[in-house]
Amino acid sequence: MNCDACKASQATVFLTQIVDGKMQKVNLCEACSKEKGVTDPTGFALADLLLGLGAAQEMERGGTVQKCPTCGFSQADFKKTGRLGCGACYQTFSEGLATLLKGMHKGTEHIGKIPARALQSIQRDSQVRTLQRDLRKAVAAEDYESAARLRDQLKQF
Partner 1 sequence: MALHNILTSTGDWLGGDGPHHQIVVSSRVRLARNLGNFPFPGWAKKNERLQILEAIKPQVELLPEMSDAFSVYSQDLSALEKQVLVERHLISREHAAKGLGSAVVMNRRQTLSIMINEEDHLRMQAIRSGLQLKSVFKMIDKLDSLLEERLDFAFSPQLGYLTACPTNVGTGMRASAMVHLPALVLSEQINQVIQAVNKIGLAVRGLYGEGTEALGNLFQVSNQTTLGEKEEDIIARLHKVIEQIIEHEQNARQMLLQKRPNTLLDNIGRGYGILQHAYSMNSKEALNLLSFMKLGIDLGFFPEPCRQPVDELFMETQPAHLQKGTSQKLAADERDSLRAEIIRSKLAAFPKPSVGSGGPGNGASHSSAN
> Max CA-CA distance within the chain?
77
107 belongs to the binding site for partner 1 (CB under 8 A): yes
Note whether 118 and 125 are within 8 A (CB).
no
77 belongs to the binding site for partner 1 (CB under 8 A): yes
CB 5, min distance to partner 1, A? 8
Q: Which is nearer to partner 1, 15 or 97 (CB)?
A: 97
Note whether 77 and 59 are within 8 A (CB).
no
122 belongs to the binding site for partner 1 (CB under 8 A): yes
Compute the distance between CA of residue 146 and CA of residue 137 in angstroms, rounded to an integer: 10
Handedness of CA 77, 79, 81, 82 (dihedral sign): positive
Q: Which is nearer to partner 1, 22 or 106 (CB)?
A: 106
Which spans of this chain sit near partner 1 (rule: CB under 8 A)?
5-6, 31-32, 35, 37, 55, 71, 73, 77, 81-87, 90-91, 97, 100-101, 104-118, 122
